């Protein structure tokens, strides 16, 4: 058995997300759904988000949250925990966690600041940080051996992270019992990681369910999903490109005389923006690759999940 056994009563789970997009909060909903299924109690789960309207997204699942800006102040004041698993998502910036471009009103959260906040959790022995955002590699090469020690896992290195639409067979129920989340553009590494946590498997054959197994499963599974989608994405890119060109032509033909209210132009602009977004997503998944990484691999082999 590994040196560190992560149990429901000794582990704090922390979700950190930096994004205004619902899909990144959906990643959190899915992760917490898996943790609840494993018997993790809500008082051992914390969510930090900078989303400007987080309530309508998380309240239906009885998930509370704190502003991202309060991360350090909250973590230093939580009850003592031997272990913490911090799952970071949303948008990554070349200087840390944050959107690109970053508005002046929003400071970037750099690696040192994040790691310092995690290390301040009272009586922490080991912190596990999973980074799923773009440019996660800027958090690599930290001093993971300082105490408390950290294992840091990145979904990808110094390049964008990737997402795909995931549908789950059974929708996640809301607190009122109605059907909720069932399909979203999921961060594929995080989704695969929680898929492993839902039903851990021994990837390397050492007889244990370790963090290293989770890392290998999430990295290989997410890249296999990408590879399987490539040929279809190539065809889809051509279809999207054609539709986008048609909308551009339509918009170019709109004049004040033909559109006195301006609403037709607005509708075409809205459609064009959506088509550009769809094409960009397809091209990213078609041409980019994810290279997961782990810092402090020896410790990742010692961290076991019950």
Partner 1 sequence: MKVINSESLVALPREVKALIRNGVYTLYTLGAAGGAAYLLVTNRGEFYLLSSDGRPQDASSIKSVTDVDLDQVVSFSDSGPPSEFQVNWA
Strand segments (E) across 26-161: 45-49, 66-67, 83-90, 92-93, 96-97, 126-131, 149-154
Q: State whether the Cα torsion 133-139-145-148 is positive or negative.
A: negative
Closest to partner 1 by CB, 4 vs 91, is: 91
Q: Which stretch binds partner 1 (CB under 8 A): 49-57, 210-218, 251-259, 297-305?
A: 49-57
What gap in Å lies between CA 85 and CA 127, rounded to an integer?
A: 6
Regarding 32 and contact with partner 1 (CB under 8 A), the answer is: no
* Closest-CA residue to 84 (of 302, 301, 303, 306): 303
User: Of 49, 11, 57, 52, which Cα lies nearest the Cα of 30?
Assistant: 57
Reported for 145-150, long-range contacts at CB under 8 A and 24+ positions apart, including other chains, are 145/296, 146/119, 147/119, 148/119, 148/121, 148/124, 149/125, 149/296, 149/299, 150/115, 150/118, 150/119, 150/126, 150/295, 150/296
**Other beta carbons less than 10 A from residue 306's beta carbon:** 11
Looking at 11, 132, 190, 275, which residue binds partner 1 (CB under 8 A)? 275
Tell me if 121 contacts partner 1 by CB under 8 A. Answer: no
Q: Using the rule CB under 8 A, which residue among 232, 238, 246, 253 binds partner 1?
A: 232
Q: Which of residues 160-219 bind partner 1 (CB under 8 A)?
A: 164-169, 174, 178-181, 183-185, 188, 191, 195
Name which of residues 237 to 256 contact partner 1 (CB under 8 A): 243
Question: Of 111 and 237, which CB lies nearer to partner 1 in the complex structure?
Answer: 237
From the list 126, 233, 294, 295, which residue makes contact with partner 1 (rule: CB under 8 A)?
Answer: 233
Under the criterion CB under 8 A, does residue 225 sit at the interface with partner 1?
A: yes
Q: Does 63 bind partner 1 (CB under 8 A)?
A: no
101: cis peptide before it, omega within 30°? yes
Q: Output 43 or 249, the one with its CB closest to partner 1.
A: 249
- Residue from 10, 149, 159, 278 touching partner 1 (CB under 8 A): that is 278
With CB under 8 A as the contact rule, the residue among 17, 49, 161, 285 that binds partner 1 is 285
- Binding residues for partner 1, per CB under 8 A? 20-26, 52-53, 56-57, 60, 164-169, 174, 178-181, 183-185, 188, 191, 195, 225, 229, 232-233, 235-236, 243, 263, 266-267, 270-271, 273-275, 277-278, 281-282, 285
């Amino acid at each position: 058995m590994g040196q560190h056994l992560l149990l429901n009563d000794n582990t704090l789970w922390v979700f950190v997300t930096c994004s205004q997009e619902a899909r990144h909060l959906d990643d959190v909903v899915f992760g917490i759904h898996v943790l609840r299924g494993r018997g993790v109690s809500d008082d051992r789960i914390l969510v930090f988000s900078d989303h400007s309207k987080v309530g309508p997204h998380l309240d239906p699942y009885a998930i509370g949250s704190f502003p991202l800006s309060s991360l350090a102040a909250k973590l230093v004041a939580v009850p003592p925990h031997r272990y913490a698993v911090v799952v970071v998502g949303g948008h990554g910036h070349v200087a840390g966690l944050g959107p690109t471009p970053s508005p002046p009103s929003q400071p970037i959260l750099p690696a040192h600041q994040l790691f310092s906040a995690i290390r301040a959790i009272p009586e922490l022995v080991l912190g596990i940080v999973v980074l799923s955002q773009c440019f996660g590699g800027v958090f690599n090469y930290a001093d993971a051996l300082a105490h408390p020690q950290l294992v840091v896992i990145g979904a990808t290195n110094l390049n964008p992270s990737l997402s795909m639409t995931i549908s789950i067979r059974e929708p996640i129920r809301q607190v009122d019992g109605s059907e909720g989340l069932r399909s979203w553009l999921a961060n594929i590494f995080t989704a695969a990681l929680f898929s492993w946590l839902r039903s851990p498997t021994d990837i390397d054959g050492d007889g244990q369910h370790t963090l290293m197994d989770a890392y290998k499963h999430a990295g290989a599974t997410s890249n296999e999903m990408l590879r399987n989608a490539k040929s279809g994405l190539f065809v889809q890119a051509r279809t999207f490109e054609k539709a986008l060109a048609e909308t551009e032509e339509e918009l170019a033909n709109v004049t004040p005389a033909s559109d006195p209210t301006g609403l037709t132009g607005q509708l075409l602009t809205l459609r064009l923006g959506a088509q550009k977004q769809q094409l960009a997503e397809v091209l990213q998944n078609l041409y980019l690759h994810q290279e997961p990484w782990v810092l402090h691999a020896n410790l990742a082999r010692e961290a076991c999940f019950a």
